[in-house]
Structure 1
Amino acid sequence: MTVLQLAPLNRLRQIVLVRYILASVGALAVDMGTFLALLSAGVPPVAASAMGYGIGIMVHWILSSRKVFADQVAESGMARTRQKAMFVVSALIGLGVTTLIVGGASAAGLDPRIAKLCAIVVSFTVTWLLRKRVVFR
């Protein structure tokens, strides 16, 4: 590739939302893979959803703190601990949203996989806003 061909790609990498979406896709792959594997193993949908989300969020912290908001991550000490705690709180809010949607939809007789897809959209929006405006501001 020439330098001119790489320029648009480099500009995209500089956009925080694009990096966040890519990190989210990676974490989502881990989340959904875990969720589907646990469902196949007979784990109840709400528990499978929560476990998948929990593992996915660990992946998301690694990607977010190193690739998305790297220039906004606190150096060390209490500031870093506070930021990690806020990230965990945002994850717990997202987890609550996810489990409520999957649990409510499953109780209503809907396919838990469809419910999980709906939960992904809502949870993504909520956690993006929290992380952009609170955790990594």
Structure 2
Amino acid sequence: MVAAIRQVVDRRLTRYLLASVGALAVDMGTFLALLTLGPSLELAPAGASASGYALGIAAHWLMSSRAVFVGSLAERGVARHRQKVLFVASALIGLALTTGIVGAGDRAGFDPRIAKLAAIGVSFSVTWLLRSRIVFR
């Protein structure tokens, strides 16, 4: 029984990792494009990071709700709305972590891309825990 539960969790984590990679592609593509355009847009690296993350959130909901947590997706109506609110709340926690880490790294003189890599690891871990244990419970 324990082995079966572990196998389901492992598969779900693998699917979540793949969904995160897809969302990260949206996030990083936006981030790098805005970094390139940043000086002309007067956009700081933390703002570019927040914008990329926000678009990644939308992509992640689509992939998570349709491919990762399929059996845990709430029925339409109040329950689904609650789930979306919790998902967005978990994403905002990840956004705050990401923006804070990139902003702190930038102020400390680190290359924003290196700070973003650190932020990715922290945000992934925190949002996985929140989503697997609270949002899609």
TM-score (norm 2): 0.89
Structure 1 residue 106: Cα displacement:
0.3
Classify the secondary structure of the residue corresponding to 1:15: helix
Q: Which residue of 2 aligns with 1:5?
A: none
Gaps of 5+ in 1: 1-10
Residue 30 of structure 1, aligned match among 26, 30, 38: 26
Tell me the equivalent position of 2:124.
124
Residues 92-127 of structure 1 show CA distances to partners (whole Å, capped at 9, x for unaligned) of 000000001000010011100000000000000000
Q: Distance in 1 between matches of 2:86 and 2:56?
A: 17
Where does structure 1 differ by over 2 angstroms across 4 or more consecutive aligned residues?
none
**Structure 1 residue 45: Cα displacement:** 0.3
In the comparison of the two structures, how many residue pairs are matched? 126
CA-CA distance at 1:44 after TM superposition: 1.2
Task: Report the equivalent of 1:8.
Answer: none
Aligned counterpart in structure 1 of residue 16 of structure 2, from 20, 29, 37? 20
Match status 1:64 vs 2:45: no
Deviations 1:47-80 (A, max 9, x none): 0000000000100000000000011000111100
Q: Distance in 2 between matches of 1:51 and 1:70?
A: 27
Which position in structure 1 is the counterpart of 2:77?
A: 77
- TM-score norm. by structure 1 comes to 0.89
Query: 1:38 Cα deviation (Å)?
Result: 0.2
Listed as ranges, the gaps of 5+ residues in structure 2 are 1-6
| d(CA) in 2 for partners of 1:38, 1:44 | 9
| Distance (whole Å) between structure 2 residues aligned to residue 24 and residue 108 of structure 1 | 28
Which residue matches 2:3?
none
Tell me which residue corresponds to 1:113: 113
Q: Which amino acid aligns with 1:27?
A: A
